Structure 1
Amino acid sequence: MTVWLFRAGKQGEYENKFLEDERIYLTWDDLNINLKEIASKEALYKRLVEHYELDKEKTAINWASQIWPIANAMEIGNLVVLPSKFNRTIHVGEVTGD
């Protein structure tokens, strides 16, 4: 079984949305790329460089390394943990669909 660690924004700004919707989200601003159409992590990296007009290659590599497994390796039945930024709670959920 795989367990995924998620954060709901740097300051927890998306935590209530995650919990109310009972969903997890990628919280990159303006990430309106259909990840199912990207064939490889390298292609995602190149797309991120273009989409965000990034000068630093390491930023795109870092982001692609975080985004790719979520879009392509996460499976139904995996667990998700979300440490709260507001209290000492660690929320635990199960992936039940796309």
Structure 2
Amino acid sequence: MTVWLFRAGKQGEFENKFLEDERIYLTWDELNIDLRGIESKETLYKSLVKHYDLDKEKTAINWASQIWPIAHAMEQGDLVACTKK
């Protein structure tokens, strides 16, 4: 079992939604990429660069490093801790 730490948005703006729904969400604006179809972190990185028209390579690398484990490593039964603002 793994414990995951989540922030509910940059300023905790999704905190109530997370708690009320008893779910966590990816809160990137307009993230409408089907993550199940992405087979590697590098492919995810390239998809983010294209989708968001990113000039800064480090931004896409950072985002891919955060998104990848949620989509491909998180399992039912893992624990989630959500920080409070």
Q: TM-score range by the shorter chain?
A: over 0.9
Instruction: State the Cα RMSD in Å.
Output: 0.6
TM-score by length of 1: 0.85
The residue type paired with residue 33 of structure 2 is: I
Segments of 4+ moved more than 2 angstroms: none
1:92 corresponds in structure 2 to: none
Deviation at 1:83, TM superposition (A): 1.3
What residue ranges of structure 1 are gaps of 5+ in the alignment? 86-98
| 1:46-87 residue CA offsets vs partner (Å, 9 max, x unmatched) | 0000000000000000000000000000011110000110xx
1:10 deviates by: 1.3
Secondary structure of the residue aligned to 2:29 is coil
Uncovered stretches (5+) of structure 2, i.e. residues with no partner:
none
Q: Which residue of 2 aligns with 1:88?
A: none
Name the CA distance, whole Å, in 2 between partners of 1:66 and 1:11: 17
Name whichever structure is richer in helix by fraction. 2
Q: How many correspondences in the alignment?
A: 85
Larger Rg: 1
Task: Give the TM-score normalised by the residue count of structure 2.
Answer: 0.97
Counterpart-to-counterpart distance in 2, 1:61 and 1:72: 16
Q: Could you tell me the percent identity over the aligned residues?
A: 80
Alpha-carbon distance in 1 for matches of 2:83, 2:65: 21
Residue of structure 1 in register with 2:63 after alignment: 63
